[in-house]
Amino acid sequence: MHQSTKWAKEIIALQQPDGLWGSFHTLSVPVNGSYTTEQALRRLELLGFTIEHDCIARTVSYMHDCLTGKRTMPDRREVTHDWDIFTDLMLATWIRRFTSADGAANRIAGLWAGIISGALIGGGYSQKAYLAAYEKAFHQPARGGRLVDPVNFYIVSLVTNTLDSHAERRWVEHILDHEQGIYYFGYKDKLSAPPASFEDRQTVKFIRSAMLLAEYRSQRSQLAFIADWLTANRRNGEWDLGANAKDGILFPLSDSWKDKRTRTADCTSVLAQLLSEIKTD
């Protein structure tokens, strides 16, 4: 329902013929109407675009070609971490967010699922075991914060539907208890407790994190506290996160929030969907 909004039209108009939007990497907020490919994909996904839309299909095709060595990412190589491993991780993650039928992306997902499973020894997560599993998989030590700490958007997204139920439960427990939330989402606190204030920009970051965790379908019981929090903050069957919820990423969905009713409709659309995905009854 949001695919014909001005936000969608603006992003699609900036897409290059090859399917990209300039450089690929960075999940920060777009600046001055300029998007990276990741920013565009993230926003279009939240606006309801799928692999069935040409703008997404062309980008997925380009990412597949990069993952299989037919093309090269346009970004400058970063030297602070293992760039080749990180680019494969990014590409596979975004491909799998739109299709589960890409063999190359699925192989990367399987590799990371093995690493995460190797870290979940005994009763919970072990950083030492994670680093050992990483080194065994890639034949080199992990380097760079985004690879040393696996609780980031890419890995959390990539390994959904790849772990056995026991490993998945321990993995979600670890994510919920992680001191600074999921990296790249900006929520700098444990996800095991919702923010105290509902109408706050931090709340939107928490909600985006919860939306990602909701993709672990078999772990709904672990997210029951989020369902309770959402229900407690619903008023007359609707939600309103306030004007500060307009973050340029998740909100707004509609063209304008000048009318409070439109803002409420956007908030209710997102949160009703989230609640339906995590409630256990």
**CA atoms of 152 and 185, how far apart (whole Å):** 8
Q: What percent of the chain has pLDDT over 70?
A: 99
**pLDDT score at 146:** 85
Q: Give the three-class secondary structure for 19.
A: coil
Confidence bin at 17 (pLDDT 50/70/90): very high
Contact of 115 with 103, CB cutoff 8 Å: no
pLDDT digits (tens, 9 = 90+) for 151-166: 999 999 999 999 999 9
**pLDDT score at 121:** 85
**pLDDT score at 23:** 92
Residue 237: is its pLDDT beyond 80? yes
Which helix or strand (DSSP H or E) is residue 92 part of? helix 83-98
Confidence bin at 41 (pLDDT 50/70/90): very high
**pLDDT score at 144:** 85
Largest CA distance in the chain: 56
Over range 24-29, report the average pLDDT. 87
- DSSP secondary structure letter of residue 44: H
Token pair recorded at residue 261: 């009713």
Residue 95: is its pLDDT beyond 80? yes
pLDDT digits (tens, 9 = 90+) for 127-186: 999 999 999 999 999 988 889 999 999 999 999 999 999 999 999 999 999 999 999 999
